Structure 1
Amino acid sequence: MNRYLPVARQHFLTALASTSVVVKCICVTVFVLYLISWLANTQVALAITPGYLFPPNFWIWTLLTHGVVEQHVWDVALNVATVITAGRLLEPLWGALELLVFFVVVTVAAGLLSGLSYVLAYAATFDLSYLFDVHISGAPTFLGAVLVALKQTSGDTTVLRVPQIRLKAAPALVLLTLAILRLAGLLETSAPLVGCSYGALAGWVYLRFYQRHSRGRGDMSDHFAFASFFPEALQPAVGLIASLVHAALVKMKVCRKMVKRYDVGAPSSITISLPGTDPQDAERRRQLALKALNERLKRVEDQSAWPSMEDEEDNDDDEVRTDAPLLPARDPSPPAPSTTQNSTGQESSIISFEDAPTHS
C-alpha cells in the first residue's frame, strides 16, 4: 500500500496542476473547510439544514457553501476527484467560466429542492427530525450533475468491459447504488441520495434548456432526452410523462418550446435541424461512424498480405533465354563454302544456303 501512495499522489498533483484556477479554488476550499471542521461544527453553519434554510431563519448562504462542506476524509477525496474530473473532461469543452456557472447553478438549485423536499416531508409527517437532524452537504450534489454532463458529451464511452457498462448508464447506477446503501443501513441519512438525485435533475435541466453555446441554447437531441436515463422498457411511459410535464412548464414559461431550426451556414449544403436531430446528436453519430469505418479498414489491411519478393525471383528464373539460333540447320554437317574471286584477285569465302527454297 505504501508504494502505491506516492504514485497516486504524483498523478493527483499532475491532474490538479493541469486544471484551471476555478478547479483549484474549489478543491482548496473543500480541503480548508475540512480542516476547519476539526475546530468548529461546519456541518450546521455551512451545510443545508432544512429548518434553518427557510423563514424565519433564512440561512441562504448555505445554498452556496453546502457543496464544499465535508466531514470525512473519504468524502473529501470523492469531492476533489469529482471536481478534477469535471475540470479535465468538461472544462476543455465549455471553458472555466461556464464550468463555474454550472457548479453554482447546480449547487443552488439542488440545495433548494432538497431543502424543500424535507420541509414537505415534515409537513406530511410532523417529524422534526426532517427539519433539524438532516444536513445536506458534500459531493453527491455535484457528482450527479457531472455524471449527467458526461452522459451528454461522451455517453458511449465504455467504463467497464465485463459486464459492459457505458458512461450513459452511470447516473442511474450511482443513484441505484445509493438507494441500496440507504436501504441496507450503510448510510446514516437519505441526504446523499436526495442530493445526488436533485443534482442530476438540476444539471439535466440546465444542459437541456438553458446552457448557451455556439449553436444557441440547450441540447434537444434524442440521446439526451429525460427518458434516456431509464431502462428501455420504461422509456415510453417516462417519455409520455416527461412530454406532459414539459408542455406544462412551457405554458408556465419555465422551459422553452422545441422549434425547428434551419442551419443555412453549413459548408457543403443546407442542414435542416428538427426536434430530435440536433447538430450535437448528428456530430456524435458522425464521430461514431468514422470510428467504426477506421476500425474496419484497419482489419482489412491486417488481413491482406503484401506480395513476396521470392515470387518475383522465381518468375525471373522461369524466363526463357533466347541464346539458341533462331533458324537451326537441317543438315548437321556444316555447309561447304564456295570460293569466288573478286575483282581484285583475292579469294573470299561465301556461305551458300543450298537448302533454302528457290523462288521463281
Structure 2
Amino acid sequence: MASFRTFSKNAPYLRQQFLALLGNTSASVKFICIIVFCTYFLSFSETAVRVLSVTPGYLMPPVFWVWTAFTFCFLEIHFWEVCVDIITVGLCGKLIEPLWGAMEMMTFFAIANIGVGILSAVFYLFLYMCTFNTDLLFTVHIHGLAGYIAAVSVAVKQIMPDHLLLKTPIGKLTNRNIPLSVLTMSLILWVVGLLEGTYPTMFTSGLLTSWTYLRFYQRHSNGTRGDMADSFTFSSFFPNVLQPPIAVVSNTIYGSLVKVGICTKPVRKYNVGAPTAITISLPGIDPHDMERRRQIALKDLSERLSKAERQQQQGWPQTERPKSSTGGTSKEMKTGLKSVTIAIPGEEPMPAPKSQLSNVVSVPGVSVSPSVSTSDTPVSLPTIPA
C-alpha cells in the first residue's frame, strides 16, 4: 500500500519525464513503446505467453510458429523490463534516429530482433542435442527486447566509441566497454538467480546479430556497405589483453568465409577528383571513421561556439591593442617607421602632447619630437652657422 502511494505521488513527475523522453521522436518509436507497454498486461496469461514467445520446439517443423519470431520482442513479463525497454527505445530515437533516419532505424530494429529469435532458438536446440533435455525445447520461452538493448549498445559503440561515461578506480568506462560489461553483469545476475537464463542468451545473440549487420551489410548514403574501421573489429569488444588471440581466431573465421563465398572482401575506393573523374578501387579495408569523426568534430565545434556565446553575453572586456616597449602602437611596430617633426628657429613649434614631453630631445637651434606628423608639407631646414 505504501509503494502504491509512493507511485501515485511521483506519477506526475514520471509522466513528465516519459513525455520528455519520447518528445520529438518519430511515430515508429512511439508505436514500439506503446506496444511494449500494452502487451505487458498479456503476460499474465500463460496462453498468450506461449503463443507470442519463441519456443524452440515450436519454431521448427512440423509446428513451425513463424510469427513468434516477429512478436516475441514486444512481450515482457516484468514491469522493470518494460521500463528499461521504453528508455532504450526512446534513447535510440534521440541518438541514432537523427543520424540514420527513421527507415534505417526500423530496419535495424527488425533485423536485430529476428536474428535474436532465430539464434536463441538454435542455441537451445544445440543444448538439447548435447543433453537430450526436452524442457529446453518446450518449456523455454524467449521474449523481450534484451537482444535489441544489446544491439543499441553496439550501435552506440560504433558511433561514439570513446565517449566517457564514468571514471572508476580501475579505469575509465566508455561506450566501447558497455556491451561486454552489460553481458558480464547479466551472467552474474543469472548465476545469482535474479535473471532468467534467456536474458544473457538473447543479449549475446543481439551482440552478434547487430555487429554482423553493422560491420558488413548496413548501407550508407555514399554507396558503401558496412563499417570496416579498425575500432569496430570483433576483438575491440574485449579488453586489450585478450584482443590479440581473439583477433587471430576472428580473422581466421572471416578469411574462411571469404574463401567459401559467404562473405566478400571489402574494396577501398579513392576518388582522384578534378579535373579527372577517376576512381581507384583497391582490395582491402574501407574505414568508415570519416562520418564518426565528422560528428565528433561538429559536437566539439558546437560546444565551443556555445561557450563563446555565453562569454559574449556575460560582457567580457575586450583586450587592448598590444604596445611596443617604446610606447608605439602595433601598427608602428609592424611598419618599423616613425615620423619626426623638426622645429624651425624663429617659428614657434607645435606643442607636443603631454605623453610625449618626456621624449623630446633638446638640441641647440633644433628641437626634435617623436610625434606623428599628419601633414605632407615639405619643411625647409635652416642653415646652422659653423
**TM-score band, normalised by the shorter chain?**
0.7 to 0.9
Find 1:183's aligned residue among 179, 191, 194: 191
Deviation at 1:317, TM superposition (A): 6.8
Displacement of 1:248: 2.1
Deviation at 1:8, TM superposition (A): 3.7
- CA drift of 1:41 comes to 3.9
Q: Tell me, what secondary structure is at the counterpart of 1:173?
A: helix
Q: Which residue of 2 aligns with 1:101?
A: 107
Tell which structure's C-alpha radius of gyration is larger: 1
Shift in Å at residue 5 of structure 1? Answer: 4.9
Instruction: Give a deviation string over 1:291-314, Cα, whole Å, max 9, x none.
Output: 889999x9xxx9xx94599x99x9
TM superposition shift of 1:240: 1.1
1:213 to 220, 228, 232: 220
Instruction: Give 1:271 deviation, angstroms.
Output: 9.4
The amino acid that maps onto 1:144 is A
- The CA deviation at 1:257 is 1.2
Work out whether residues 56 and 137 of structure 2, in 8 Å CA contact, stay in contact via their aligned partners in 1.
yes
**Counterpart amino acid of residue 230 in structure 1:** F
Which aligned pairs between 1:1-360 and structure 2 lie closer than 5 A? 5-38=11-44, 41-162=47-168, 163-187=171-195, 189-215=196-222, 216-264=224-272, 275-276=284-285, 278=287, 280-285=288-293, 306=319, 319-320=356-357
TM-aligned CA deviation for residue 247 of structure 1: 1.8
Per-residue deviation, 1:72:
1.4
Contact 1:212/1:218, CA 8 A, preserved across alignment: yes
Displacement, 1:326? 6.9
> Residue 262 of structure 1: SS of its match in structure 2?
strand
Tell whether the 8 Å contact from 1:158 to 1:166 is kept in structure 2 after alignment.
Answer: yes
Matched-pair contact (CA < 8 Å) for 1:50–1:115: yes
Shift of 1:132: 1.8
Mapped to 1, the partners of 2:134 and 2:11 lie a distance apart of: 44
- C-alpha contact (below 8 Å) 2:161/2:174 kept by paired residues: yes
Q: How has the CA–CA distance of structure 1 residues 290 and 270 changed in structure 2, closer, same or farther, with 3 Å as cutoff?
A: farther
Q: Tell me the equivalent position of 2:3.
A: none
Gaps of 5+ in 2: 1-5, 312-317, 329-352, 366-383
Tell me: CA distance 1:253–1:73, structure 2 relative to 1, closer, same or farther (3 Å): same
Any idea what the Cα deviations from partners look like across 1:25-56, whole Å, max 9, x if unmatched? 11111111112334564321111111111112
Deviates more, 1:245-254 or 1:144-153: 245-254
Structure 1 unaligned residues grouped into runs of 5+:
329-356
Provide the secondary structure at the position in 2 that maps to 1:260. strand
Q: Which amino acid aligns with 2:177?
A: A
1:42 touches 1:69 (CA, 8 Å); kept in 2?
Answer: no
Measure the CA separation in 2 of the matches of 1:137 and 1:214.
Answer: 34
Q: Name the % identity.
A: 40
Q: Please give the alpha-carbon distance, in whole angstroms, between the structure 1 residues aligned to 2:274 and 2:98.
A: 24
Q: TM-score, normalised by structure 2?
A: 0.73
Displacement after TM superposition at 1:139 (Å):
1.8
- Structure 2: which amino acid aligns with 1:320? L
CA positional deviation for 1:205? 0.4
Cα offset, 1:277, TM superposition: 5.3
Residue-by-residue CA offset, 1:317-354 (whole Å, 9 max, x unaligned) = 764269999759xxxxxxxxxxxxxxxxxxxxxxxxxx
> Would the aligned equivalents of 1:152 and 1:224 in 2 still touch at CA under 8 Å?
yes
Q: Does the 8 Å contact 1:33/1:42 carry over to 2?
A: no
Q: 1:265 to 1:66 in 2, by over 3 A?
A: farther
Aligned amino acid, residue 207 of structure 1:
L
Greater relative contact order structure (CA < 8 Å, 6+ sep): 1
Tell me the TM-score normalized by structure 1. Answer: 0.78
Distance (whole Å) between structure 1 residues aligned to residue 38 and residue 302 of structure 2: 48
Q: Which moved more, 1:208-217 or 1:198-207?
A: 208-217
